[in-house]
Amino acid sequence: MIGYGFMGRAHSNAYRKVNQFFDLGYEPVLQAACARNGKKLKTFADNWGWKSYETDWRKLVARDDIDAIDISSPNNTHLDIALAAAAAGKMILCEKPLAMNAQEGKAMTDAVEKAGVANMVWFNYRRVPAIALARQIVEKGNLGKVFHYRAKYLQDWTISPKVPQGGAALWRLDIDVAGSGVTGDLLAHSIDTAIWLNGPLTSVCAMTETFIKERQLQDEPGKTKPVKIDDACAFLARFKNGSLGTFESTRYARGRKNQNTFEINGENASVCFDLEDAHRLGYFDHNDQKGLHGWRSILVTDFEHPYMDRWWVPGCVIGYEHTFINALADFLKGLESDKKLCPDFKDALETQYVCDAVLSSAKNGQWETIK
Ligand code: SOE
């Protein structure tokens, strides 16, 4: 595994737990962790039980005792690592967004396809049981014709102009490392979920804003640098199935810490979800008995709900970290069958095309068609 930040911890936890909760033919071995800062890396590796560590990712990729590479490092490192790992015949589990832009994402997708290596992207929210239940409801056709898809992804941690950019944790604010702001970081999640639940988007029209134009550099005290990322982004979309979409994301919604929501309105029923109330799925069924119509709030913890037979007894909720364990279990199970693993690089590339179209629409003020 390359990287030891927030995602390095979430993924390490998944590797350690997955076989305790799922019956799988494969068992991950925590063979080596990799990052540039050897001292911090050792502390991290010892804490999570990684057997060894490397400070140069090229050495890690060259090791023949390693079958899979997990890319948990910042976005500007994904391309080179993925190309090298694919060429070395390793499986790849890559953190989202797939790449800095679609051009990089396409090169990565071509490389894994050419090498024929198993690959996935950690769009963990697909593995929230309530979201997976929404997918089952959509697949059963309960919604009927879909008219509207509405998504929001709101946070508030960059409102202070004192928050610096760059360096560990704050690389998300640095365009050269992140590739974009909320579009790649947050809307990529919303778009991935939307494509999964409602099919492909065909065109978008977006606006973005950078509220704080200049920030101090975390690693060079006293120096500042212009901020080039999108702090906020809102876009309209058309879906292939004829429905209309609205998407909004910001890191300036005071009070919203990680509010990831969607609502789908169909002719027969609607579903809605809010990550801040993650174990519940809202469902409205127009076919309910007259006079008893109303939104149900389904507590998604029963054994028949997605993933929940693997966890506790009904009523006992699971959390954020479990979505990564569920995702890893699906990946490992996929290795045992011919079924396409998803979301893989190809799926994530679709999301990347939408992100690119959103950013260029925001620049040129025009509707953009999705490739
Ligand atoms: C950003 O704050 C972030 O950590 C994203 O990078 C994650 O993908 C998201 O799930 C939580 O928020």
Determine if residue 95 is left, alpha or beta; phi over 0 gives left, psi from -120 to 50 gives alpha, anything else beta: beta
Residue 95 Cα: closest atom of ligand 1: 8
Entry pTM? 0.98
pLDDT digits (tens, 9 = 90+) for 124-150: 999 999 999 999 999 999 999 999 999
Inter-residue contact 99 to 91 (CB < 8 Å) = no
pLDDT of residue 340: 77
Cβ-proximal residues to 175 (8 Å cutoff; 6+ apart), any chain: 181, 227, 228, 229
**Residues 160, 174: Cα–Cα separation, whole Å:** 16
pLDDT of residue 70: 98
pLDDT digits (tens, 9 = 90+) for 182-199: 999 999 999 999 999 999
Residue among 123, 155, 185, 233 to mutate when testing ligand 1 (max atoms within 8 A of CB): 185
* CA 327, chain centre distance (Å): 11
DSSP string over 159-217: -STT--BSSTTGGGG-HHHHSSSHIIIIIHHHHHHHHHHH--EEEEEEEEE-S--EEEE
Answer yes or no: is the C-beta of 258 below 6 A from any ligand 1 atom.
yes
pLDDT of residue 339: 81
In this structure, the residue with its CA closest to atom 11 of ligand 1 is 258
Encoded tokens for 359: 């950013």
Q: Is 104 helix (H, G, I), strand (E, B) or coil?
A: helix
